[in-house]
Amino acid sequence: MAKQPKALKMLTHGQVWGALDRLAERAGLSPSGLARRAGLDPTTFNKSKRVTPDGRERWPSTESLAKALGATGSSIDTFVQLIGDHGRDVRSVPLLGLAQAAQSGHFDAHGFPAGRGWHEVALPVAGEDHSFALEISGDALKPAYRDGDVIVVAPRTPIRRGDRVVVKTVAGEVLIRELKRRSAKTLELASLDGGGPDHALASDEVEWIARIAWTRH
């Protein structure tokens, strides 16, 4: 007997509007601010417009969605991802370029964001008070990370062997590696592509280490 194909799940009204809200928040905008930036009537995406007076669900038009994506520099793939993030917490976290992270004054002794130079980005991440984001620049970390990727770092999350981590050394170097082994005296790190040599550091050479919790490609 032929196997029946699985039924496709339809998008819901709430998922689509929720994704638009997350798109706006990621850009640091309210729904009306997003509509205004997209060249639309400021009330286009307001919550009061999402249901008609007689109770019918009103959906965003393809044109308004395309303009919102264009106004935020986002792709349709990004919007689909935001639909998939339905139900996850979207919150603003401090953002810094990876190239700037090695400079002094951006972190305290615990590896928490400090000082000036940080921006804010709204991302669907788990709620850890001291989470921060680093934007990858260049292709040195390919294929694991590419230019423009954003990684969310969680300094207070427990780290286990095999986790991807960010390490700040006392010498001021910032490393992105996989944790191979950790003891009271040494820290052993593996390259992300598995082809490079392991990197061993003495504990007193490490200023802080934190787990990479999430990545936006």
Reported as a pLDDT band with limits 50, 70 and 90, residue 74 is confident
Residues 98 and 154 in one domain: yes
Residues 73 and 36 in one domain: yes
- Mean of the per-residue pLDDT values of the chain: 85
> How buried is 112 (Cβ within 10 angstroms: 0-12 exposed, 13-18 middle, 19+ buried)?
middle
**pTM strictly above 0.75:** no
Question: Residues 182-190: what's their mean pLDDT?
Answer: 94
**pLDDT tens by residue, 80-137:** 878 776 545 556 788 999 999 999 999 998 899 998 889 877 666 555 678 899 999 9
**Domain with 159 in it:** 90-216
**φ and ψ of 73, to 5 deg:** 65, 30
Q: Which residue has the tokens 């999402």?
A: 50
Q: By the 8 A CB rule, do 134 and 150 touch?
A: yes
Q: What per-residue confidence (pLDDT) applies to 47? A: 85
1 found inside a domain:
no
5 found inside a domain:
no
Question: Residues 162-174: what's their mean pLDDT?
Answer: 94
What tokens does 135 get?
């934007």
Domain boundary among 36, 65, 84: 84
Taking the C-alpha atoms of residue 105 and residue 132, their distance in angstroms, rounded to an integer, is: 15
Residues 63 and 94 in one domain: no
Taking the C-alpha atoms of residue 32 and residue 191, their distance in angstroms, rounded to an integer, is: 45
Residues 80 and 94 in one domain: no
Residues 208 and 189 in one domain: yes
160 found inside a domain:
yes
Q: Which residue has the tokens 């969605």?
A: 65
Domain boundary among 65, 84, 103: 84
Residues 132 and 46 in one domain: no
> How many other CB atoms are there within 10 angstroms of residue 133's CB atom?
23
Write down the number of H helices and E strands in the chain: 5, 9
Between residues 197 and 104, the one the model is more confident about: 104
Residues 27 and 113 in one domain: no
Q: By the 8 A CB rule, do 158 and 147 touch?
A: no
Question: What is the domain-level CATH number for residue 65?
Answer: 1.10.260.40
Q: Which residue has the tokens 């981590």?
A: 165
Residues 181 and 206 in one domain: yes
Q: By the 8 A CB rule, do 26 and 18 touch?
A: no
Q: What per-residue confidence (pLDDT) applies to 9? A: 55
Q: What per-residue confidence (pLDDT) applies to 7? A: 42
Taking the C-alpha atoms of residue 24 and residue 52, their distance in angstroms, rounded to an integer, is: 22
20 found inside a domain:
yes
Q: Tell me the sheet residues that pair with 210.
A: 166
Q: What per-residue confidence (pLDDT) applies to 117? A: 87
Domain boundary among 84, 108, 131: 84
Residues 29 and 61 in one domain: yes
Residues 35 and 100 in one domain: no
Amino acid at 155: P
Between residues 27 and 94, the one the model is more confident about: 94
Question: What is the domain-level CATH number for residue 174?
Answer: 2.10.109.10
Question: Residues 73-85: what's their mean pLDDT?
Answer: 79
> How buried is 33 (Cβ within 10 angstroms: 0-12 exposed, 13-18 middle, 19+ buried)?
middle
- Domain tally, the chain: 2
Question: Residues 34-46: what's their mean pLDDT?
Answer: 93
Residue 42 has pLDDT above 50, yes or no: yes
